[in-house]
Amino acid sequence: MKATNFPHPDDGAIGTFVKLAQATFFDALPANAQRKAPTAPASPPGGKLAPVERQRWLSALDRWFYTQRMKERDAYLGQAQDIFELESRIRELERRPYY
How far is it, in rounded angstroms, from Cα 9 to Cα 66?
Answer: 16
> Which range (43-47, 59-63, 71-75) has the least confidence?
43-47
**pLDDT at residue number 2:** 43
Claim: this prediction has a pTM higher than 0.95: no
Average pLDDT value for residue range 42-65: 80
Question: For 52-64, what is the mean pLDDT?
Answer: 89
Number of Cβ within 10 Å of residue 62's Cβ equals 10
Q: Average of pLDDT values for 45-65?
A: 83
